[in-house]
Structure 1
Amino acid sequence: MFVLATALVALDQLTKQLVVRALPLGGQEIALALGFSLTHVRNSGAAFGMLRNFDLEVLGFHIDGTFMLGLLSGIVALGLFVYMLRGGARQPRLVRVALGMVLAGAIGNMIDRLRLGYVTDFIHFSSGSFSFPVFNVADMCVVIGAGLLVIASFARPTGADSGRVSTGVRAPHPTGLEDFPELPPLGGRTTTE
C-alpha cells in the first residue's frame, strides 16, 4: 500500500513539474488522442475545480477554499495512513490498492495546496460539446481508488483474501445471517419427512 502510494505521489509531482516547465500557464492545449489534451491551469478548488470560490469567516479568521481543502486533504491522508498502519494489511488486495490510490491522491494535491496555494491541473478531456474539467494524476488516483472501493464492497472474498485471519477464526458471514435457520426456496414447497 505504502509503496504504491509513494510511487503515485512521485508520479503526480513529477508530471506537475514537467507541465509547469513545458507548458505556459493558460496557453494553447496540446491535442493527444481520443479527446484528451494537455493544458496548464491552476486550480484553487477541489478535484475538477469544485469549491473554487469557497470563502468563510469563522471567529474573525478568514478561511479560503485552498486552506480548507489542504486541511481536509491532510485529515483524509492522516486517517488513511493510520487505518493502513493499524489493520489495512488484513484487507483484501483490491481494498489495499484502492486505499493506497486514495492516499496518494490526497497527499499529491495536499503538497501543492500547502506549498503553492493551488493545484496544477493539466489533463483535459472533451468530446463534441462536452468538456470535462481539467484534472491531474492525483485526481485520477482519488477517483479510481474510490471506484475500486465501491467494486470491492460488492466482491466476495476468495483465496488468500477469503476472510480467514491468522488465528484460524473465520470472519462473520457477509450477510450476518449465519445464526438464522435456512429458509425455504421462494415459490417452492418444502416437505419434511
Structure 2
Amino acid sequence: MTYEFSSKSRWWLWCLVAIGLTALDQAIKQVVSTSLPLYANVPVTSWFNWTHVLNPGSAFSFLAQASGWQRYLFIAMGLIVSAILVFSLWRGVASRLVTASYICIVAGALGNVIDRVRLGAVMDYLDFHWKLWHWPAFNFADVLVIGGAILLVLSSFIDSNQSIDQPI
C-alpha cells in the first residue's frame, strides 16, 4: 500500500507549525528589544554583530525612505500571500517539500507583518559583515521567507513521478 501525501489531511497542524514559528520570531524580537537599545550594536565575532535596528522598507531597505505608504503595502502583501498559501495547504499540496516551504513563507511573512503593525517597521538584529563588505541586517522571519523560497525552487527540480518523499 502506497501512502500519498496531502497537506489537506492535516492542514490545521501545518497552520499550528506556522504559528509556532511566528511566535518564535516574535519571542526573539522581544528579547532583542528588551536587552539591546535601538541602534545598539554588540560585536559577537569578527564577522557578526547582534544589533537592534528598524527597517521601514523591505529587503535591502527597498522603499525605506518612502513617506509611509509602504508600511500598508507590505502589510497587505504579507497577509494576501499568507492567506493564499494557507488556502493552498487547506486545498491540498501533494509534496512535503512544498508544504514545508509554504509553512516557512507564511510564518516569516506573518512575523514581519506583526512588526509592521506594532512598530511601523520590521525589527532586524542579525548583522553579518566581512572586512569592507556588509550584508544588510535581517531577522529570523527573513530567514524563514528566504528558506521557504529556496525549498520552493528546489521542489521545482524534482520530477513529479520521482518524489523526494519516496525512496529511490
Does the alignment reach a TM-score above 0.5? yes
Partner of 2:150: 147
Q: Give the greater-gyration-radius structure (CA).
A: 1
What residue is the counterpart of 1:51 in the other structure? 63
Spell out the pairing of 1:12-27 with structure 2 (5 A cutoff): 12-27=25-40
Q: Does 1:109 align with 2:112?
A: yes
Inter-partner Cα distance in structure 1 for 2:164 and 2:74:
39
Flag the structure with more relative contact order, 1 or 2, with Cα contacts below 8 A and sequence separation at least 6: 2
Structure 2: which 5+ residue stretches go unaligned?
A: 1-13
CA RMSD of aligned residues (A): 1.9
The yes-or-no answer on 1:138 pairing with 2:141 is yes
2:88 pairs with 83, 89, 114, which one? Answer: 83
Shift of 1:99: 0.8
Normalising by structure 2, report the TM-score.
0.83
Of residues 41-50 and 17-26 in structure 1, the stretch that sits farther from structure 2 once superposed is: 41-50
Q: Which amino acid aligns with 1:152?
A: S
Q: Give 5+ residue unaligned stretches, structure 1.
A: 56-62, 163-193
Tell me the residue number matched to 1:72. 77
CA distance in 2, matches of 1:78, 1:66: 18
SS of the equivalent of 1:133 reads: coil
TM-score (structure 1 length as normaliser):
0.73
Higher strand share: 1
2:126 maps to 1:129? no
Which structure has more helix as a fraction of its residues? 2
